[in-house]
Amino acid sequence: MKFDTYLEKKLTDPKFSKAYEDVQPEMNVIRAIIEARTSQNMTQKQLAEKTGIAQTEISKLENGNRNPSIKLLQRLAEGMDMVLVISFKPKTQI
């Protein structure tokens, strides 16, 4: 069974659906960090060297084992020559 098919089936369970929805903000941050880093063709080690953040900490962020502060996200953005943009959108636009 493909993951998308499995997920679609699981999301019909209200309890699972609620839990899945609850973790989406964290997953969005993780995806954004990984996508930003890889779009710059940077390894975790290279990003660590540019930011002074330990590679192990970057790994924890990308694995969801650590929640970043705004200040840490700003350091990551600067290390990738990017700006940090945070926005709120109506649920109907997601």
CATH 1.10.260.40 for domain 3-93: yes
pLDDT surpassing 80 at residue 3: yes
pLDDT surpassing 70 at residue 92: yes
- What local confidence, expressed as pLDDT, does residue 1 receive? 79
Calpha distance 70→45 (Å, rounded): 21
pLDDT digits (tens, 9 = 90+) for 53-75: 999 999 999 999 999 999 999 99
pLDDT digits (tens, 9 = 90+) for 9-38: 999 999 999 999 999 999 999 999 999 999
Query: DSSP code of 1?
Result: -
pLDDT surpassing 70 at residue 42: yes
Calpha distance 87→91 (Å, rounded): 12
- Positive or negative, the Cα torsion across 53, 56, 62, 65? negative
- For 85, the enclosing helix (H) or strand (E) is none
Structural domain boundaries of the chain? 3-93
